[in-house]
Structures are given as C-alpha cells and as structure tokens.
Amino acid sequence: MQANSEFTQQASQYMMQAIALATENVTSGRGGPFGTVVVKDGKVIATGVNLVTASNDPTAHAEVMAIRNACQSLATFQLEGCDVYTSCEPCPMCLAAIYWSRCRAIYYGNTAADAAKVGFDDSFLYDEVKKPLSERRIPIVQMLPDEAWVSFAAWRDAATKVVY
Amino acid sequence: MQANSEFTQQASQYMMQAIALATENVTSGRGGPFGTVVVKDGKVIATGVNLVTASNDPTAHAEVMAIRNACQSLATFQLEGCDVYTSCEPCPMCLAAIYWSRCRAIYYGNTAADAAKVGFDDSFLYDEVKKPLSERRIPIVQMLPDEAWVSFAAWRDAATKVVY
C-alpha cells in the first residue's frame, strides 16, 4: 500500500468519485457498497455501481457495469489506455473482466478482506479460483471433450473472425 | 475427467446443445466458439453465446449471458438448483459469475488449456488471478483505504438492505 501523498490530486479525485458512488448506492437503497470510475486521457468516460439486486443480474458488479458503459460510450470492446478506479479490490469476476477489457491499471480502496468483513464472498472466491477443480465447492466436471473440440476447430479454421 | 458413459443421456443432450450453440456462433460470424445452457428441474431455462465483439461488451461471455438470461427468465438474482452446461471450462470471470449466481454444478467440454490453443487468454487469466497483486501484469494499487471504508460502514450500518 502506498501513502496517499504519492497519488496525484487528480487520481484522488477519481477515487473519491468511486467511493461517493459506492456510498450513494447504499444510502439510496439501490444495492451494494461498490462504485467504479473508468478514466481515459484525464477524463471520466464511464461510471458503474453495483446493480445485482436492482437489476436481477449477479454479474452487475460496479466494475462490470463501468466496463460495459465505457465500451458502449467508446463503441469498442477493448479499453486500451483506460484506468479503473474502484472503491473495492475487484473480485475474481471483475478482475478477469478488467483483463478481458484490456484496461491499463487498477486503483482500489477497500480490500477483498475488508469486503469479507461486511459479508461479501470476495476472499472466498479468490480461494476457490486458486483450487484444483476437484477441490472446489461447486462441483465442476468435464464431459464430451471430443465433441466440444469441434467448436474450437471451427474457430481455428474460420476464414474470417474478429479476434479479441 | 469422467468417461462419457458415466453421464446420463439427458446430460449429454444439454452439453451437445451448448456445443451446437458454440459452433453456430462461429459459423454465423457472430462471435467466439462458446455456448452455455442453464438447466433447472430437467428443463433448459436459458442459453447464452459469446457476444463480446457483436455487442461491444468484453463481459458478454457465453456463461455470463446465460446467467443473465436465466435470471431475467426467473426474475431473480440467484439460481439455486440450476446446473450450467458450457462448451468450455469457464474463465475466471465466468467461474466467479457462476459462484455469485449460486448455481449448483458446472459441466464443461473444452479445457482452459484447449482455449489457449485456439488463441484465448483463459489459462493466462487463471495464472494472473493466483498471483500476489504486486506480480500481476496489470498494475493494481491500493489508495485512500480510510476514505473507502466509509462505503462499507454505510452498508454495515444500513437498517434495510438486500443481502446477496
């Protein structure tokens, strides 16, 4: 953890905006205490808050919503050169979403351990993702691998495709 | 990996449907070779295919789409008692999404290593998620933890909230 003085005033403002979104999401009754801001070239291009219960979507975490909104805003599926300011360390879903989106850097406030203290599964999920498949809480089993490979062969052999 | 003969004919049909969705997603030019089926009480309640490039949404993987569709179909944010049949082992984003959705079991065809063979980052992402923050490819840095805790305290102290 770096001391706050090491961050620019602008970076602190982005993080304070993410935190304010998180707090407002709770006080408004909309959802969980999570807010995210996506910044490109010194401008906030998108924000997101946790809408899991408000929208009946367990994937609607603040980071995922902010990435979706940023991509819609820029009409792209990749966010090169974008920085993510998020009020809590991304859970494994959101961390991987940030990787898939090709964002440049992640700044976070609360830790996954902090999230566990107020009832969220983030730390548990990091433990699960690290485990061999056979030891995970949700059973995960392979079937029909030869049949499934047909899909990948189709992709490999496709004459035209948009790689991502 | 279990032998195919250990699976019921019905389970094999669900997986074949997921594989067919994946292959059709490639041949139609819509997106990547991934398809998912969500089953509850012996019925397919939702399907999903990879729509990353088609919808400019890097989170629109087949499993995420199937979970979103299942939740909309059942008007809930939790999928207890649901099984996921997916043409490829879920990436860390999709695995965590399945955990957040509270699905019961996961059946998959291709492995993350297979996905790497045809150009996808799934194995790389599993490696990244397992690393300490300081060793990750995308820089991830904490800032303003005291300020961020205010959001969590608001959640902890909220008189009414929908826990998920």
CA-based nearest residue in chain B for residue A107: B141
- What's the full length of chain A, in residues? 164
Q: What is the DSSP string of B2-52?
A: --GGGS-HHHHHHHHHHHHHHHHHHHTTSS-S-EEEEEETTEEEEEEE--H
What is the predicted ipTM? 0.95
Question: CB distance A32–B164 less than 8 Å?
Answer: yes
Question: CB distance B96–A93 less than 8 Å?
Answer: yes
Comparing CA positions, the residue from A56, A43, A85 lying closest to residue B69 is A56
Catalytic residues of B: 63
The conformation of residue B80, written as its DSSP 8-state character, comes to: T
Q: Which two tokens stand for residue A126?
A: 């990091």
Please provide residue A137's backbone torsions phi and psi, each rounded to the nearest 5 degrees. Answer: -65, -45
CB A136 within 8 A of CB A124: no
A60-118 pLDDT per residue, tens: 999 999 999 999 999 999 999 999 999 999 999 999 999 999 999 999 999 999 999 99
Measured distance CA(B7)–CA(B3) in Å, rounded? 8
In degrees, rounded to 5, the angle at the alpha carbon of residue B87 between the alpha carbons of residues B81 and B91 is 80
Please provide residue A153's backbone torsions phi and psi, each rounded to the nearest 5 degrees. Answer: -65, -40
Question: CB distance B16–A144 less than 8 Å?
Answer: yes
Q: Which of A71, A110, A150 sits opposite B58 (nearest CB)?
A: A71
User: Which of 29-58 (B) contact A at CB < 8 A?
Assistant: 29, 31-35, 52-53, 56-58
Mutate to test the interface with A, among B125, B126, B155 (most CBs of A within 10 A): B155
Measured distance CA(B23)–CA(B27) in Å, rounded? 6
User: Which of 110-129 (B) contact A at CB < 8 A?
Assistant: 110-111, 114-115, 117-119, 121, 125-126, 128-129
Question: CB distance B92–A155 less than 8 Å?
Answer: no
Question: Residue B125's CB: how many other CB atoms inside 10 A?
Answer: 23
Question: CB distance B151–A15 less than 8 Å?
Answer: no
Question: CB distance A141–B2 less than 8 Å?
Answer: yes
SS3 (DSSP) at A44:
strand
Q: Distance (Å) from the C-alpha of residue B123 to the closest C-alpha of chain A? A: 11
CB A7 within 8 A of CB A72: no
Q: Which residue has the tokens 């801001």?
A: A37
CA-based nearest residue in chain B for residue A94: B93
Mean predicted confidence (pLDDT) in A116-123: 93
Please list the pLDDT of chain B residue by residue as tens digits (164 residues). 444 456 899 999 999 999 999 999 999 999 999 999 999 999 999 999 999 999 999 999 999 999 999 999 999 999 999 999 999 999 999 999 999 999 999 999 999 999 999 999 899 999 999 999 999 999 999 999 999 999 999 999 998 898 88
CB A68 within 8 A of CB A100: no
CB A89 within 8 A of CB A111: yes
